[in-house]
Structure 1
Amino acid sequence: MAEEIPGHTYQSGSTSVDCRGNGEQTWFMPSSEEVRRLAELTDRLVQRFPAISAWTIATIVHEVHHGFDGRPMREFVPLLVERGAARQLVSALR
């Protein structure tokens, strides 16, 4: 699966995000390790949930990941993204 997730490029570019909820823009760029881990977890979720399109899964991963924008502690973000996305996918299958 490509490392590009709908609405957000997990490669070398920066993405402007509103981290404060007040319209003020800050810049956030995930590390190459975080990008790799996000691509891997997306692939795992695609394998785990074959009834859901890869596009839908990638979109959910992006949305969950976006919720962590601006957070200083990044080490566990991919794990938390995978858990949050999996919960949403399980709910979607019900």
Structure 2
Amino acid sequence: MTNDEEILHVEHVIERLVVRYPDLPRETVEKIVHSAHAHYANGKVRDFVPLLVERNAREMIQGLALS
């Protein structure tokens, strides 16, 4: 996966999470997703990064909902 493809996939993650959590401001979702994405910045295998980013971001959002 190229860097451009990865960024596009991450943008799709943002869109899915904005739809799934309409009560959260878009900016909050974007910050959470970009934070999750930054966690994998140094990983060598990039194929599953969007999936992992979405999973981590969803967990962070659900944690916000519980607090």
Does TM, scored on the shorter chain, surpass 0.5? yes
- Give 1 or 2 for the bigger CA radius of gyration: 1
Deviation at 1:93, TM superposition (A): 1.0
Q: Where do 5+ consecutive residues of structure 2 fail to align?
A: none
Does 1 or 2 have the higher relative contact order (CA < 8 Å, sep 6+)? 2
More strand as a share of residues: 1
Could you tell me the TM-score, scaled by structure 1's length?
Answer: 0.67
Higher helix share: 2
TM-score of the aligned structures, taking structure 2 as reference length: 0.92
The answer for unaligned runs of 5 or more in structure 1 is: 1-29
Pair 1:71-2:43 in alignment: yes
Percent same amino acid among aligned pairs? 34
Give me the whole-angstrom Cα distance separating, in 2, the residues matched to 1:40 and 1:89: 16
Please tell me the root mean square deviation across aligned C-alpha atoms, in Å: 1.0
Kindly indicate whether residue 32 of structure 2 is the aligned counterpart of residue 60 of structure 1.
Answer: yes
